[in-house]
Amino acid sequence: MEHPLARHIEAIDPKRHYDSAEVAALLGVGSAALRPLVLAGWLPEPQVPRRSGRGGQPVRRWRGSALRTAGARKRLKPLDHDQFAGTTLWRLGCRCASCTAAHSERSRLARRAAADAAFPEADRELLLAAVAAGADMKSAAELVGVSTMQVYGRATRDPVFSARLDEAGAALCVDAASGKCGTPTGYRSLRCRGTACRRAHTPTTH
C-alpha cells in the first residue's frame, strides 16, 4: 500500500511546518486520526509543539521534510481495523471488502442527501399538484427546476412518492374512451403520458 502522503510529496515544502488541520487535509482524514497514525508509525511525532496563545492548548506541527520522508516510505505497518473507521481506512488506501463497503455506503448516503436537497418536499408537492392538474411530466419537472430523471429516481426509492406520482399521473390520460389507454399504442400514437400508458410502454418505469 502506498503512503497517502506519497501523492503530495512534491507539493510539501520541506522548510515549513504544517499544523494538524493541514496534515489531516493532506491525508483526507479528520484531525482525531492523526495521533493513532503517529502511534502506528505512519506519521512522525510532531516536531514543533507550541501554544496557541497565553494559556492556550499546544499546537502540534510537523516539519515538511519529515512529512516528505514519511510519504516516501514503502513498508507500512497494517492499520488496526478496530481502531479506525472503515471510511477513514479507505481514504488512507485500504481496499479490503469491509472498508470498500463502508466507503460505498457513505457515498450512497451522500448522493441521497444531495438528491433530497435538490428535490425537497415542497418541490415534490408542487410537482404532484402540477401533474394532477394536467401538466406533462417534463413541464412539471421544469416548473420545480429538476429533470424527469430526478423525478423518477425519487420514485424508485420512495414508494410513497411513487404511489402519489402514479395517482397524479392518472390525470394525464388523453383519451380513456379510445380503448388505447394503458397500451404501448396509447403511449406512442396518442403520446399519452398517463400512468397506465407509461407502464405499458416501459413496465419498469414508475
Q: What is the Cα gyration radius of the chain? A: 28
Q: Can you tell me the distance from the alpha carbon of 7 to that of 32, in angstroms, rounded to the nearest whole number?
A: 22
pLDDT at 111: 92
What's the pLDDT tens digit per position in 123-140? 999 999 998 887 888 899
Q: Specify whether the CB–CB gap between 65 and 18 falls below 8 A.
A: no
Summarize pLDDT for 88-122 with one digit per residue, the tens: 999 999 999 999 999 999 999 999 999 999 999 99
Looking at every residue in the chain, the average pLDDT score rounds to 84
Please tell me which residue, 28 or 132, carries the higher pLDDT value.
28
Which triple of cell numbers denotes residue 130?
A: 402540477
What lies within 8 Å, CB to CB, of 94 at 6+ separation is: 1, 79
- pLDDT for position 166: 82
Alpha-carbon distance of 60 to 48, in angstroms, equals 6
Categorize the per-residue pLDDT at 200 as very low, low, confident or very high, splitting at 50, 70 and 90: low
Indicate whether 56 pLDDT > 70. Answer: no
In the chain, domain spans: 6-110, 118-201
pTM of the model: 0.63
Q: Please tell me which residue, 46 or 171, carries the higher pLDDT value.
A: 46
Rounded Cα gap, residues 84 and 39, in angstroms: 13
In the three-class reduction of DSSP (H, G, I as helix; E, B as strand; rest coil), residue 17 is classed as: strand
As a whole number, mean pLDDT of residues 55-59 equals 67
Burial label for 5, CB within 10 Å (0-12, 13-18, 19+), is buried
Dist. CA 69–CA 44, nearest whole Å: 9
> What is the helix, strand, coil percentage profile of the chain, to 5?
55, 5, 40
All three cell numbers of 201: 410502454
Residue 59 phi/psi, 5-degree rounding, is -100, 115
Phi, psi of 19 (to 5 degrees): -85, 180
Contact 89, 81 (CB under 8 A): yes
The region of weakest confidence among 47-61, 81-95, 103-117, 146-160 is 47-61
Q: Place 206 in a pLDDT band, splitting at 50, 70 and 90.
A: very low
How far apart CA 179 and CA 197 sit, in angstroms, is: 11
| For residues 159-180, average pLDDT | 73
H-helix or E-strand spanning residue 143: helix 137-143
Mean pLDDT of the 32-47 span: 91
pLDDT of residue 175: 55
Query: If pLDDT is split at 50, 70 and 90, which confidence band does 41 have?
Result: very high
